[in-house]
Structure 1
Amino acid sequence: MEILDSSIFDLSPIPFWLEDFSEVKNQFDIWKNDGVENLEDFLREDMSRVLHCANLIKVLKVNHKTLELFEAKNVDHLRENLSQIFSNDMAESHIHDLLALWNNQAHFSNTAVNYSLTGKRLDIHLRGTVLPGHEDNLSLILLSTENITSYQDACRLEAHSRSIAEARFTYSPTSLWVEDFSRIKTRLDHLKAIGIEDFVTFLDVHNDFIIECLRDISIIDVNQATLNLFGASSKDHLLQNIYTVFGHETLNTFRGQLIELWKGNIHHQCEAVNYALDGSIRHVLLQFTIFPGFEDNWSMAQLALTDITARKKAENYLEYLGKHDVLTKLYNRSFYSSEINRIERSTLRPVSCIYIDMNGLKEINDTQGHDVGDDLLRRTGAILTQLIHNTLYSASRIGGDEFVVLLPGADEAALQSSLDALHELIHIDNQFYSTQKINFAIGSASSQNNERIEDMLKRADKAMYLQKRAFYLSLKHEKESV
């Protein structure tokens, strides 16, 4: 019993207990005589048996550190309040101690929850050792109860933070991908090591390098928003069809990403085009970042894809409206003016044009209504669209009943061919709509040497005007002869 008087026990910086488990040993013997073989199942059938064993333990001695930890005035104060220290929280952990002693193990340890006498929760790491010479009756066991509350609090905080981070990833409304770019970094580092400096030119010459880098990416995880964005039923479904998601546009997008990474920009963004598994297009804003702590190997990178498909459609439609006439689907006067300036600045010559004015539109609007007139304008749009189909020509509505077809690169022979095609298209349309035929005044011109485009257009406009004037003079003569 020298250890009971040892100054090492009393002065230890770790809380020590000397306890007598002999009554517990007697209880074990009774249970064994009663035929209990599996103690764990037996105790779990009735957890009060665990508390009964705990109450059989006698506290012989504790050191000063134990009194300090549990905020007890002295040993008697501690003994009188053991039920407060060992609450129901300790029943589960105490089962493991009892199982070790039941199986004649001289050492046991576990983590448990105790409480100080002021009610403070304590996470402890308990270690127990049956002292030599007391193995048969368990009358002297040394226990340490190390306070690990700070450590456990840190673990709980870390687990809570991880849970929040995982929830943010899983339930984020933005498509998130976690990927491994380490093999790409190895490739880029190798190129720098062998002296490659102009990476852009290198990619121009070695386009297969981009494909190889794409194959080197390892997808670690994706969230639910990603599955929703691309119409995948599961992660496996998405990964098995990943090349459906990345169309031919991906190569150009990824080329830009590689250039950014080569420059050291491990945080960058760009717009990209992807595809859902049903083939529908997805315009996305791609934001790329290497996670902090992985800058040296790029083994943990995140891609955030924001769906901007609706915005792109709206932008495209607004751009369309800015250049097109809604009724005829042809280009509008704004586009026509810009195109004239572009052609004037270019060196492409000759340039031809066809001026078209619909005869009698005002009278049709006045007598038959604007719906009929609008229908004639739509038919005109369809005719001119067919005329320029699969060519570099453009057709614009520049006024209420005025249209211009610009034919860059067309000489007089090409212009005549287009005029013949135009007359044929008008003839076919009028046969189909025989009760409401369209009549046009048409003028045309091809640019001459050193002639300004504007002057060529004026000649075509004048030719159209002369034809229109002849049409109305003919109508006038017909009315006068009636």
Structure 2
Amino acid sequence: MQYPAPVDSLSAALDTRDLDLFESSPMACWLEDYSALFERFQQWRADGIQDLRAWLQQDRRRLTECADLIRVLRVNRRVLELYQAETLEQLLAHLDSVFRDDMLDGLLQELDQLWQGKSEFQSLTVNYALTGRSLDLSLKGVVLASAQRPWDRVLVTMEDITGLQALRRQAQESARDAREFFEQAPVSLWVEDFSAIRVLFDELRHRGVTNFRTFLDVHPDFVGRCLQELRVLDVNRYTLKLFQAISQEDLLDHLDEVLTHEAYASFAEQLIDLWDGRLQHQREVQNNTLRGDKLYLHLQLSVFRGCEQDWSKVLISLTDITARKKAEAYLEYLGQHDILTQLKNRSYFVDELARQTRKRTAPIALIALDINNLKYTNDSSGHAAGDDLLRRFGEVLSKAVDAPGIAARMGGDEFMVLLPGKDLELAQGLLNDIRALIDLNNQYYSNNHALSVSAGLAVCQDVAELEHAMRQADQAMYADKQAYYLANRRRETDSTGS
């Protein structure tokens, strides 16, 4: 892993409030650049590499090479606290002692998930604080919307599960402490009996079923049958608190309210893992509390030692990651939206143009828009007044443009509307609607500066001409703006002359 001086790329994408969110997050957050790793993957694919895991395991130095391609851009304060570092520079200078030993095993899992085309990855890993203390970590990464190159911004969050892992190890070593650990564990723990499901599996194998995933595609009701056969033997106190249940009986009597549609899909994947002999596995799931609040959970399943044949005791642990998922969703939102207007940003718009080119949708209409007198408003009344005009125009475009159309702020006072499948007549109709909404907006904000825009239209019949159509729309908009200012000057002259 490369350790340059930290690059403040996050500052370019986020305003002060969003940087505060990153810095004050209770999660340890790293912003990293994986773009060089993406390019290496492309090279290996071109070289004919298919099984990345096997390729990396043949020579562990390749794993180290991959690690060296990852650049650290920024970390938050929680990272420094976790690794007991005084400054970012101190942490970066000693990363070779932080990431060592078992770390490469976790990295192998992450790389394999990215190789398979996933935009998210997760693993359990071991790192070390600068004092030498080992850290058991649950790691999750998400590839944010690309600003320049693929994978140039990857958000990695780490949960310190050292205490939990230590408790688990103690429970395995001493049955005497198992019950206390079970009740006091800071995660939701369930002991369940899967033995009836094991019997159902054996019956299917006896009937000649070999591809269980295909079987579930044909017989989706089998998932519900397995849920009915599953028996919950015990849950801990934290489980009742997490799911907002009065008692264990209260929770078990209302399990149908806990399980969401997504939970059924996740349970199907758990069954597939068990069918394939993976008696320990993990994934993210969604459940509801008994009050209807959505929970995002990290699930870990492990068949008890000695129960591998009948699955009569299975331990399920659920870690609440709801706060982390909301933070990740917000950061992903920031990567695609302009915060002031709530419209899509330039980066998303450019990516959407590329998608439309691949889809070869035609015709495609484009509307270029520019707020009139924004600089004058900023100079005469301050930037708060100018920001107010931008927000108001964002409201107008949000109401006027429906999917699959996209409205984006391209920067400053410039906006662009992309309308797949719309011809010139339909696009002109939408522009008329925008102007009508501007009139209503000005009536509502009658005590504020008037909102006024110049606009230009263009339509292309061939997606290969999209960029040319954008230039045409821009040119038409600038012509409209010149006409607007010329008309204003004439009115001022007429008013002065009279």
Q: Give the alignment's TM-score, normalised by structure 2.
A: 0.63
Deviation of 1:177 after TM superposition, in Å, equals: 0.3
Counterparts in 2 of 1:254-333, with a 5 A limit? 254-333=267-346
Counterparts in 2 of 1:213-292, with a 5 A limit? 213-292=226-305
Q: Match for 2:427 among 415, 418, 428?
A: 415
* CA deviation vs aligned residue, 1:224-260 (integer Å, no higher than 9, x gap): 1111111112111111111111111111111111111
Could you tell me how far apart the structure 2 residues matched to 1:415 and 1:220 are? Answer: 62
1:393 aligns with 2:399: no
| Pairwise CA RMSD | 1.7
Distance change in 2, residues 1:387/1:259 (3 Å)? same
Could you tell me how far apart the structure 2 residues matched to 1:173 and 1:257 are? Answer: 23
Could you tell me how far apart the structure 2 residues matched to 1:451 and 1:293 are? Answer: 63
Could you tell me how far apart the structure 1 residues matched to 2:463 and 2:361 are? Answer: 12
Q: What residue is the counterpart of 1:405 in the other structure? A: 417
* CA deviation vs aligned residue, 1:251-304 (integer Å, no higher than 9, x gap): 111111111111111110000111111111110000011111111111100110
Choose 1 or 2 for highest CA Rg: 1
Deviation of 1:451 after TM superposition, in Å, equals: 4.5
Give the SS at the match of 1:173: coil
Query: For structure 2, which runs of at least 5 residues remain unmatched after alignment?
Result: 1-170
Could you tell me how far apart the structure 2 residues matched to 1:192 and 1:413 are? Answer: 62
Counterparts in 2 of 1:153-192, with a 5 A limit? 161-192=174-205
Deviation of 1:450 after TM superposition, in Å, equals: 6.0
Q: Match for 2:456 among 443, 457, 465?
A: 443
Could you tell me how far apart the structure 2 residues matched to 1:474 and 1:419 are? Answer: 20
Give the SS at the match of 1:297: coil
Could you tell me how far apart the structure 2 residues matched to 1:172 and 1:457 are? Answer: 58
1:454 aligns with 2:470: no
Deviation of 1:384 after TM superposition, in Å, equals: 0.7
Counterparts in 2 of 1:8-87, with a 5 A limit? none
Distance change in 2, residues 1:282/1:446 (3 Å)? same
Could you tell me how far apart the structure 1 residues matched to 2:464 and 2:335 are? Answer: 30
Deviation of 1:190 after TM superposition, in Å, equals: 1.5
Could you tell me how far apart the structure 2 residues matched to 1:194 and 1:344 are? Answer: 49
Distance change in 2, residues 1:268/1:254 (3 Å)? same
Q: Which stretch of structure 1 is more off in the superposition, 233-242 or 265-274? A: 233-242
Contact 2:304 2:314 in 1 (8 A): yes
Contact 2:281 2:300 in 1 (8 A): yes
Give the SS at the match of 1:452: helix
* CA deviation vs aligned residue, 1:423-477 (integer Å, no higher than 9, x gap): 2211211221234321100111221246521111111111111101111222233
Could you tell me how far apart the structure 1 residues matched to 2:452 and 2:227 are? Answer: 59
Q: Match for 1:360 among 363, 369, 373?
A: 373
Contact 2:298 2:318 in 1 (8 A): yes
Could you tell me how far apart the structure 2 residues matched to 1:208 and 1:279 are? Answer: 25
Could you tell me how far apart the structure 2 residues matched to 1:353 and 1:332 are? Answer: 16
Could you tell me how far apart the structure 1 residues matched to 2:267 and 2:463 are? Answer: 47
Contact 1:232 1:277 in 2 (8 A): yes
Equivalent pairs counted in the alignment come to: 323
Contact 2:459 2:469 in 1 (8 A): yes
| Percentage of matched positions with identical amino acids | 44
Query: For structure 1, which runs of at least 5 residues remain unmatched after alignment?
Result: 1-157
Q: What residue is the counterpart of 2:208 in the other structure? A: 195
Contact 1:359 1:468 in 2 (8 A): yes
Give the SS at the match of 1:398: strand
Could you tell me how far apart the structure 1 residues matched to 2:196 and 2:253 are? Answer: 21
Contact 1:227 1:234 in 2 (8 A): yes
